[in-house]
Chains A and B, each alone.
Chain A
Amino acid sequence: MTKKYKFLFVKFIAALFILNGCSNSTKFASENRDPFEKTNRNVFQFNKYVDQKIMSPISKTYVKKVPAKIRTSVSNHLQWMDTPSTIINSALQTDMENTILASAKFLLNGLTLGFYDLDKGETVIKKRDFGSTLARLNVSEGPFLMVPLIGPKTTRDLTGTILDRQNMATLSSNSIDDLSLAEVPINIIDKRSKMSKTLDNIYLSADPYVKVRSFYLQNRRNEIYSEKYIENKNNNLDAEFEKLLD
């Protein structure tokens, strides 16, 4: 990375942290709090257009033309390429069990470059990224953002995604860098093909933007926060439900 790009990168991360600071001090805000809603909605419209005009037809052709076995191998390989990030972040989060399991699985499946899952899904590893590490360090979630071509993120998760990419680029060799560059579009097509029905249903809803925001935040919070958060959330919902049942 050249000096100029390094400087720009540091500035960008600093800006994201400042945006985070603009949010309230609690770890996560209400789902309806969306200070950048207007801009987010415009970006959502752009993403939706790209998705419907480009990504959806490509992923439909991918599902139609590529045999299921090959698609599974591609998915396995993409997951395998993501495992180093899980190993590093599990270690940073002092989740030693996940670090060891992810390392073992990475080494084992490395024999086939991750194209074949040699332990046949027996070892369940929790996906960990830098966003979840930042959450563990009590960095607040920050405002919700709709990122062009990437989709929904919070400022903390966007910072995490950039740092994850940066980490991998620093750790890996140039040839792996080139490989991962080719994998970005394949990853998007693979993910799109798996979410096809969900996305089509979302587009049919009364307010697709709010639905995406709600799905993303609920899913991400469940992934990141411990059982204590889920219990707390359920207690609040229970109280609300009981009141309505009276």
Chain B
Amino acid sequence: MIFNVNITKSLSDNLKMGESTIQQMILEAQEHAIDTIKLEPNERSLKIELLIKKYINLDFMSKATTGSFWKKASEIQKEKYKAALLKQIVITIEDHFNTLATLSYKPIKSERRGKKLIYVRGLIEDPNKKKPDINLLWKLAANKNGSFLILDLEIEGISLVSSQKAEAVSILRKNRGNFDILLNKMTRDN
């Protein structure tokens, strides 16, 4: 009985931690959006990069987006891929940063999935109702230190990890797992 109570308590603690991680990140992102408006583009990107790095599990995302090819990459290639992936996430998010300052985030629901995962669902709303609501789903898991990091984000059901994986794996397959070709393509225009 006591055992059951402890498990329930730890589950609800984990859910709360997951939710507060997202709330904290949104809050910081909104502050950043206002603070960084006047900065030079490069400086701004760097600030956003630092913020994102704090909240995502980049190691996990890199493994998840390259599938079985990850094991075949050298340490240098792995580090380069992580940097390129982070850059792509920054580019994707950067454009939406200005709008984030004027919109509001509303948490909807969080749930425990399997042994390690937590889903946090939320909604981005326009207080003036001029833009449609955007459904968000954050997938999180605790790292070794016990703090929760983001593994994937789904915007209106479109997964960041799944679309990046489709792209990376398609290039790797066509080039017999050559990571350098993938890295060249990823850094070509950035």
Contact = CB atoms under 8 A, between A and B. Distances in A.
A121 B128 CA distance: 11
Contacts, number: 85
Interface residues of A, number: 29
Interface in A192-246: 197, 201, 204-207, 210-211, 213-215, 218-219, 222, 230, 234, 237-242, 244-245
A119 to B, nearest CB: 11
Interface string B86-101: 0010011001100000
A197 B88 CA distance: 14
A26 interface: no
B159 interface: yes
B182 A206 contact: yes
Given A121-B129, A218-B157, A222-B156, A207 B113 contact: no
Interface in B136-190: 139, 141, 151-152, 156-159, 162-163, 166-171, 182, 185-186, 188-190
Interface in A108-151: 120-121
Given A238-B114, A241-B152, A244-B63, A204 B189 contact: yes
Contacts of B63: 244
B38 interface: no
A64 B167 CA distance: 33
A235 to B, nearest CB: 8
Q: Which of B156, B158, B163 is packed against the most chain A CB atoms within 10 Å?
A: B163
B158 A210 contact: no
Give the secondary structure class of A's interface.
helix
Nearest to A206: B185
Given A206-B186, A214-B163, A215-B163, A201 B91 contact: yes
A237 B171 CA distance: 21
B171 A207 contact: yes
A31 interface: yes
B157 A230 contact: yes
A211 B185 contact: no
Contact of B159 (A120, A197, A206, A218): A218
Interface in B91-122: 91-92, 95-96, 113-117, 119
A32 interface: yes
B169 A32 contact: yes
B162 A218 contact: yes
Contacts of B189: 204
B170 A32 contact: yes
A120 to B, nearest CB: 7
A215 to B, nearest CB: 6
Given A31-B166, A205-B88, 7 more contacts: A31-B162, A205-B167, A207-B185, A230-B157, A237-B152, A241-B141, A241-B152
Interface of A: 31-32, 72, 120-121, 197, 201, 204-207, 210-211, 213-215, 218-219, 222, 230, 234, 237-242, 244-245
